[in-house]
Amino acid sequence: MVKVLFVCLGNICRSPMAEAIFHDLVTKKGLEEKFVIDSAGTGDYHIGEPPHEGTVEKLSEYDISTNGMVGRQVSEEDFLHFDYLIAMDDDNLSELKKLASGESEPAIKKLLDYMPEHPTRNVPDPYFTGDFDETYELLSEACKLLLDEIRRIEEV
């Protein structure tokens, strides 16, 4: 079982969008039994809240569900439970590395590290930019590449 956690600041825009997109990709490939997929935020701003309406609207255009998703904050247990902690930007990555205890060795990377040829290095936060289209496009491409990489490494 491969466990993937997507991480952004508040866990209502980028990371739940990535979680939903990745879950959709995994399901379409018939691999849902081989993955645990979740999302969390480094901040505690939106704990218990559903994804942002812009995220929900954008995903619904592609028939991708956000049912049951609620914002939560990254916990110490996440570093023990998940194999991959995937940050949306440099700040999230830095925060994850500060929180890592060293007891476990999950892969902690930025999602756009899986798109080395792309000029953008951080997934823009549509909470601030209002551009859910750009975020969706980046996350869709990067999630495909992340899944390919995990399947190659983990042989799933």
Catalytic residues: 8, 14, 125
3-state helix, strand, coil in the chain (%, to 5): 45, 15, 40
List Cβ neighbours of 52 (8 Å cut-off, separation of 6 or more).
12, 13, 126, 127
List Cβ neighbours of 23 (8 Å cut-off, separation of 6 or more).
32, 35, 37
